[in-house]
Amino acid sequence: MADDDTLRTVYELVQLMSFLNETRRAILLALSHVYPRSVSGVQLSRLIGYSGKSRSLYRGVLTHMKEDGMILIDELTPRLHAIRINNEHPLLSMLVELCREYGKGTSKIYAKALEE
């Protein structure tokens, strides 16, 4: 039986993930599976099957998620950004750990999609 703190974190993680909307959830799942890699905006919008422009993803959802400390965005050039999950986040670090432990198959699919 896992200890109380871990279970509590898992509960809070499940709650947060289910309360986020579809786009945010897809972003977090994709980023935590490809961690520690970072992806560009275009790659991310392809990974999550986003139909709109990746620019509007940047300026809307991604900016808001960055403000909430869920993801980190490094500006490599004004047009190229490296997006990765914030592994310092108390709940998302647990998500990353879970994905590394049990999500190897899913990670492979994401990695293959990134190569193409």
Partner 1 sequence: MDCLLKHARGLYINMQRITIASLMIIFMVVFYSLYSVGIYGLGATPPEWFPVAWMEFFDAVVSLNTVAFFLAFSLIVFAYGLWSWAFFPSPAVSYTQAALQGLFGQNVRIEQSIGKRFRVFLESGTHIDVRCRVKEASSGDWFVYRFTSCPLTGNSLHSVAMRHGMSSKKGRFTTTIGHDELHHRGLLMAKAMASIAPDS
Query: Minimum Å distance from CB 57 to partner 1?
Result: 8
Beta bridge partners of 71: 85
Strand 80-85 and strand 71-77: the pairing is antiparallel
Query: Minimum Å distance from CB 21 to partner 1?
Result: 5
Query: Minimum Å distance from CB 11 to partner 1?
Result: 11
Contacts of 47 (CB under 8 A, 6+ apart): 26, 30, 34, 39, 110, 113, 114
Give the residues lining the site for partner 1 (CB under 8 A): 12, 15-16, 18-24, 56-61, 63-64, 67-70, 89-91
Q: Report the residue number, 31 or 57, with the smaller CB distance to partner 1.
A: 57
